[in-house]
Amino acid sequence: MIFIAPHIHEALENKKPVVALESTIISHGMPYPQNVATALSVEQEIINQGAVPATIGIIDGDAIIGMSHDQIEQFGKRQGISKVSRRDLPHIYATKSWGATTVAATMILAKQAGIEVFVTGGIGGVHRNAEVTMDISADLEELARTDVTVICAGAKAILDLPKTLQYLETKGVPVYGFQTKRLPAFYVRDSGLTLDYEINDEAEAARIIRTKRANNLHGGILITVPIPREFALDKTAMDYAIKTALDEADKFNIKGYEVTPFLLRRVGELTKGASLESNIALIKNNARIGARIAKELVLI
């Protein structure tokens, strides 16, 4: 049911730095062939830093830890791949289906494989109007329970960021800013929200991770990294695009798993592609930092 690619198994056995990557960005994040090109370029960023990338996805009911380039290509071309979170895993396994792992599912499988560091673009969170809809991403619950460190550019800007931070605090998830005390907002460097903790460099991040694990304080760690300044988008323009997309989602009664892909696609259209370029830049940046943290971890 879980297949760890030989090169990933060898890296883990020999205490080499390994970085997990999700597969939803391939099947649901971008059109082909840009999705495949992006996935492979993110892997290359990790390799360039001296770490080993492990893209995770489910093929014919088997969880693959360390997808090959051919498997990533198949993922990029194939239609109808299910978006998989914790609740979906038993069904996808039992029906021998294909599944793209969300943040939550990737955390579960990374933990089972023995991978501590996971890089993504942005996590899910508390959706706007969640007090009415109760729409809260399973990513947050997974961060509360699964021992994996997640490197991201904050929660997606389409979400209710203050409520997302509050939820994480309630669940005991430490949220760090990487060289910042302000929560990044995905496309925007500063959400306006202050964080309790700042990490100065990758070595400090590694020490915090090791300390949490050594003291049996279970659950994830969230390290948020601002998008590189040259790729950051204007906050006012982004707020307008997000509000427009949210109004359209409400008008067309788009709900559940379909909300985030719809909103990200519409924001991309409304920003004339600028948000997609920023998305690619921020995940590459996260990959570089995540790889360096993974390298520091194996030295401790």
DSSP-assigned states of every residue in 239-293: HHHHHHHHHHHHHTT--GGGHHHHHHHHHHHHTTTHHHHHHHHHHHHHHHHHHHH
How far apart are the C-alpha atoms of 172 and 169, rounded to whole Å? 5
Q: Chain-centre distance of CA 2, in angstroms?
A: 20
Active site residue 22: yes
Q: Are 44 and 9 in contact (CB under 8 A)?
A: no
Query: What tokens does 242 get?
Result: 């997000």
How far apart are the C-alpha atoms of 4 and 64, rounded to whole Å? 6
**Active-site hit among 43, 45, 111, 156:** 156
Alpha helices in 95-160 (DSSP H): 103-113, 130-133, 138-145
**Active-site hit among 22, 73, 142, 202:** 22
Alpha helices in 97-234 (DSSP H): 103-113, 130-133, 138-145, 161-170, 202-214
174 Rama sector, left if φ>0, alpha if ψ -120 to 50, beta otherwise: beta
Residues labelled catalytic: 22, 156
